[in-house]
């Protein structure tokens, strides 16, 4: 009898201890804060390159953790990149191949899995598609692109409303309010903190206008690129700072000044972009804007008549950098606010902090702005990850990682099983220094949105640390090969160079295998192309010229590249 009592007591003690261990293990599940800006070029983060701007707060994440020098995206355009991040699948499988087609809401996203696993989930800022993201206990998001001043927000519980102020500050206010007042201390959380900045049209906060419009920036060595070493895709893209950037919407030349100087509308929506953004300002905000940008316009009016084409290009580059980098100053300040909160409230030690962008961006390289191409400045993206106690401080990785990997990384960190159809690879081995467990040596890229704004042709590619093989298709059939080590600016296509024959042949075979691995094919590309063109047959051209559309619609749309 005594033995039975002892056994019973021992069993109770075992169950109690096991229960406590379970609860302790649950408490140890890491919080995750995913910080993403829109179009934030890695060249504009001082942890990567300090020639343009200092970003001390974003750099704090690199100092606490790991900076990835070869991080990239699978499709360099806003909404498709975000869909890849959420689903862990390439664009042709998650269905969000471009900014036009809607996101397929039957996709399972990693926030849904976190919510089901007992995480508290929240999203604040720019999603870019949809108005009811699944898997979130709380959200307040911008509709579409949103606006820089006095933005509108779609919320989970409070309907749609406008908030007075500057968008980067407001998104951070909402994020900090949730951390302080809605976060449940007994539950781990997964928080997506998503900035609009530095997306076009690049309106700095009032506090940064005067400072940044006085700055002068070094020009990229390829600002006046003539594309002579490449094919038709680079030559025909409509991303040139001088000829394709909006004068009013982007360079902030007042519409009446454009009229006075006889400057034509660059896009058909040039002045409308200015009115859409600057027109949202209240009286005090507009007064501060005019105090800074009025003199900019006065100086431009005096100088413009005597400017040659080179000087105009240089002026537009400086104006672009002043505003673009001015918006990043606010992002960096606000990232600092969040990091300060985590430190002050004891949340830093058990929190994974990620800073990234939805893709890279051209800051005058090759004379361009925007993204889309698989060339480095848009293909590569910043990625900084801190996880105190797990990731070595101030470490770096040059492995070929992608936004495709984020979902599986977060799921593994939280101890949640990833769906079998996710296509990424967890970064946990790299983050913990187990590099031998990382086997990927190449990544896959596929861009679809053509014809469209900027007219970047459809293309897919395989990229290694050393080389990049690209196929531009549909209205052209052109291959490009770049030696990434010896030609870092990607100025010379060596596809037909006999010295690279063996490398080219191997990359072709590797590309075939990679397309098969990820389930991509010419049949899928054919279907997506036909669906894409049909929508424009019905509604006409959007963001590009109707004559361009009509010319393309008359072409043979049969693809033959496999």
Do 230 and 367 touch, CB atoms closer than 8 A?
A: no
Q: List, edge to edge, every strand of the sheet that includes 459-464.
A: 442-447, 459-464, 467-472, 478-483
Could you tell me which CATH number the domain at 9-202+328-440 has? 3.40.720.10
Q: Tell me how far apart the alpha carbons of residues 553 and 537 are, in angstroms, rounded to a whole number.
A: 8
Q: Tell me how far apart the alpha carbons of residues 215 and 340 are, in angstroms, rounded to a whole number.
A: 28
In SS3 terms, 379-448 reads as HECCEEEECCCCCCCCEEECCCCEHHHHHHHHHHHHCCCCCCCCCCCCCHHHHCCCHHHCCCCEEEEEEC
Structure token pair of residue 329: 């100053």
Do 479 and 501 touch, CB atoms closer than 8 A?
A: no
Beta bridge partners of 445: 461
Q: What is the DSSP string of 121-183?
A: EEEEEE--S-SS-TT-SEEEEESTT--SBS-EEEESSS-EEE--SBHHHHHHHHHHHHHHHT-
Q: Which helix (H) or strand (E) holds 207?
A: helix 206-212
Q: Does domain 447-553 have CATH number 3.90.1150.10?
A: no
Tens of pLDDT along the chain (562 residues) come to: 444 444 444 444 444 454 444 444 445 899 999 999 999 999 999 999 999 999 999 999 999 999 999 999 999 999 999 999 999 999 999 999 999 988 999 999 999 999 999 999 999 999 998 888 999 999 999 999 999 999 999 999 999 999 999 999 999 999 999 999 999 999 999 999 999 999 999 999 999 999 999 999 999 999 999 999 999 999 999 999 999 999 999 999 999 999 999 999 999 999 999 999 999 999 999 999 999 999 999 999 999 999 999 999 999 999 999 999 999 999 999 999 999 999 999 999 999 999 999 999 999 999 999 999 999 999 999 999 999 999 999 999 999 999 999 999 999 999 999 999 999 999 999 999 999 999 999 999 999 999 999 999 999 999 999 999 999 999 999 999 999 999 999 999 999 999 999 999 999 999 999 999 999 999 999 999 999 999 998 889 988 999 999 999 999 899 977 6
**For strand 351-357 and strand 383-386, is the pairing parallel, antiparallel, or unpaired?**
antiparallel
Q: Tell me how far apart the alpha carbons of residues 311 and 296 are, in angstroms, rounded to a whole number.
A: 16
- What pLDDT score does 208 carry? 98
Tokens 């298709």 belong to which residue? 473
Tell me the residue length of the chain: 562
**For strand 189-194 and strand 160-162, is the pairing parallel, antiparallel, or unpaired?**
unpaired
Q: Which helix (H) or strand (E) holds 102?
A: none
- What pLDDT score does 562 carry? 60
- What pLDDT score does 543 carry? 87
Residue 26's alpha-carbon distances to 391, 427, 534, in angstroms, are 20, 22, 51
CB atoms inside a 10 Å sphere around CB 518:
17
Q: Which helix (H) or strand (E) holds 413?
A: helix 406-414
Bond into 218 cis (ω within 30): no
Phi, psi of 261 (to 5 degrees): -90, -5
Q: Which residues make Cβ contacts (< 8 Å) with residue 134, sequence separation at least 6?
A: 105, 109, 111, 112
Do 67 and 401 touch, CB atoms closer than 8 A?
A: no
- What pLDDT score does 62 carry? 98
382 alpha-carbon distance from chain centroid: 9
Tokens 């506090």 belong to which residue? 207
Residue 241's alpha-carbon distances to 41, 97, 131, 224, in angstroms, are 16, 26, 33, 10
Q: Where are the domains of the chain?
A: 9-202+328-440, 206-321, 447-553
Could you give the dihedral angle defined by the CA atoms of residues 289, 290, 291 and 294, in that order, rounded to the nearest 10 degrees?
A: 130
Structure token pair of residue 115: 């919510």
Q: Tell me how far apart the alpha carbons of residues 58 and 67 are, in angstroms, rounded to a whole number.
A: 11
- What pLDDT score does 421 carry? 97
């Amino acid at each position: 009898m005594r033995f039975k009592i002892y056994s019973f007591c021992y069993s109770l003690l075992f169950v109690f201890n096991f229960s406590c261990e379970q609860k302790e293990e649950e408490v140890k599940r890491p919080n995750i804060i995913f910080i993403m800006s829109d179009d934030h070029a890695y060249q504009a983060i001082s942890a990567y390159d300090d020639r343009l701007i200092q970003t001390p707060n974003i750099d704090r994440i690199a100092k606490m953790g790991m900076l990835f020098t070869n991080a990239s995206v699978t499709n360099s355009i806003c909404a498709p990149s975000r869909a890849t991040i959420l689903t862990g699948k390439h664009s042709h499988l998650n269905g969000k191949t471009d900014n036009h087609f809607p996101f397929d809401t039957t996709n399972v996203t990693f926030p849904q899995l976190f919510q089901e696993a007992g995480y508290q989930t929240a999203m604040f800022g720019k999603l870019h598609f949809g108005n009811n993201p699944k898997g979130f206990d709380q959200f307040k998001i911008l509709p579409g692109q949103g606006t820089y001043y006095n933005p509108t927000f779609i919320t989970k519980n409070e309907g749609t409303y406008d908030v007075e102020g500057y968008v980067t500050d407001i998104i951070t206010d909402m994020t900090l309010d949730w951390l302080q007042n809605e976060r449940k201390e007994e539950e781990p959380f997964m928080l997506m903190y998503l900035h609009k900045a530095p997306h076009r049209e690049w309106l700095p906060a009032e506090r940064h206008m005067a400072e940044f419009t006085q700055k002068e920036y070094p020009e990229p060595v390829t600002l006046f690129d003539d594309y002579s070493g490449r094919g038709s895709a680079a030559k025909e893209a409509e991303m040139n700072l001088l000829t394709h950037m909006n004068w009013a919407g982007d360079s902030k030349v007042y519409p009446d000044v454009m009229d006075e100087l006889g400057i034509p509308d660059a896009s058909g929506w040039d002045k409308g972009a200015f009115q859409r953004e600057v027109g949202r300002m209240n009286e005090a905000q507009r007064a501060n804007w005019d105090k800074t940008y009025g003199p900019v316009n006065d100086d431009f009016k005096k100088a413009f008549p005597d400017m040659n084409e080179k000087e105009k290009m240089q002026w537009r580059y400086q104006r672009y950098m002043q505003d673009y980098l001015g918006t990043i100053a606010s992002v960096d300040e606000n990232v600092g606010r969040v990091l300060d909160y985590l430190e002050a409230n004891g949340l830093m030690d058990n929190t994974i902090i990620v800073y990234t962008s939805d893709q890279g961006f051209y800051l005058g390289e090759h004379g361009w702005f925007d993204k889309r191409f698989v060339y480095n400045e848009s293909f590569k993206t910043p990625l900084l990850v801190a996880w105190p106690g797990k990731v070595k401080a101030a470490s770096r990785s040059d492995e070929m990682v992608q936004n495709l990997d984020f979902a599986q990384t977060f799921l593994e960190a939280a101890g949640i099983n990833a769906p079998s159809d996710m296509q990424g690879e967890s970064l946990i081995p790299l983050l913990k220094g187990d590099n031998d467990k990382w086997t990927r040596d190449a990544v896959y890229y596929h861009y679809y949105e053509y014809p469209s704004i900027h007219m970047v042709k459809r293309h897919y590619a395989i990229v290694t640390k050393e080389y990049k093989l690209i196929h531009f298709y549909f209205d052209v059939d052109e291959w490009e090969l770049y030696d990434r080590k010896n030609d870092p600016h990607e100025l010379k296509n060596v596809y037909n160079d006999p010295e690279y024959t063996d490398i080219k042949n191997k990359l072709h075979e590797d590309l075939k295998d990679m397309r098969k691995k990820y389930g991509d094919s010419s049949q899928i590309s054919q279907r997506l192309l036909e669906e894409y063109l049909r929508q424009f047959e019905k509604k006409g051209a959007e963001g590009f010229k109707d004559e361009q559309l009509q010319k393309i619609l008359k072409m043979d749309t049969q693809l033959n590249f496999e």
